Amino acid sequence: MEAIKRIHHITAIVGDPNENLQFYRDVLGLRLIKQTVNFDDPGVYHLYFGDHHETPGTIITFFPWTNDNYGRKGSGQVGRIAFRVPKGSLNNWLEHLTVQNIQVETTQLFGKDTLEFDDIHGLELAIVEGNVAASNDDIFGFHGSVLLSSNPNGTKELLADLMGLKELNIEGQNHHYETTGEEKHHIVTAIPPQPGGRFGIGTVHHIAWSVPDKDVLKAWQATLMDSGFGVTEVRDRNYFNSIYLAEKGNVVFEFATDGPGFDRDEDKDALGTALKLPEQYEHRHQEYETLLPKLDI
């Protein structure tokens, strides 16, 4: 199989949808690109955010729960999610976050200066500089993420041997990998494993890896099954097709196709401005409009 080139999206569980929107749009400057529902739990929003350049490997998505059911971070989850910002902008970001009363710690988590902070619902985030300068300080996609594997060596077999991520020799206790695509997303598996986590508000649900099309997705499904993973059937996610599995460290991985894309049901300029439902829920559109909290867009 050809190596995995980049992250496709990362999906987390958060709290109130308007607080979620305010944080990612107004504090981090991302763009809401899709309002839909959780296809497996359609009474809950599924909100998608991207950057303003429609960069591949930028999409962070949320299930905003309104039930105060907080999760516990721990192994078997994706950990801290890092965004990449232009070269030379880190101090501006530190100042920007500090002005918003967000507590920031500067660490070396990703092998270079890393601003660590939490979103409004306790989801762990980070900002890391890329190698490219820009005319503004806007986030330019993901830098990568931490995986809280319960079995870092088992996770390594999948990441390095099957998915073709390159292990970097960065000093420190953690394994550190990068994807082979031009985005060079960084993946850090935290060592030693932590106690098991529980999904809920403030935790990441899964990380999805980009594959070019449905044929390659099916080839991955077969390869992963041959390697002993329990892999789902191909699921139609309307904007992409997906398979899911739990890797050996219990982190949920999804493999997702790049197409058909988010502009299949609304114009590029109008992305995220209205509730969009897949065909199977469209007949209940009015019901969901009434049920779901109104977004301040």
Binding residues vs Zn ion (CB under 5 A): 11, 208, 254
Least gap, CB of 104 to Zn ion (angstroms): 28
Whose Cβ is closer to Zn ion: residue 174's or residue 242's?
Answer: 242
User: Which residue, 206 or 248, has its beta carbon nearer to Zn ion?
Assistant: 206
| Closer to Zn ion by Cβ: residue 97 or 208 | 208
Instruction: State the nearest-atom distance from the C-beta of 8 to Zn ion, in Å.
Output: 8
* Smallest distance, Zn ion to C-beta of residue 237, A: 7
Question: Among residues 11 and 89, whose Cβ is nearest to Zn ion?
Answer: 11
Smallest distance, Å, CB 9 to Zn ion? Answer: 6
Minimum CB distance to Zn ion smaller for 78 or for 292: 78
- Across the beta sheet with 41-50, what order do the strands follow? 31-38, 41-50, 59-64, 7-14, 203-211, 252-260, 240-246, 235-236
Minimum Å distance from CB 107 to Zn ion? 28
Which residue, 93 or 142, has its beta carbon nearer to Zn ion? 142
Token digits for 15? 């709290």
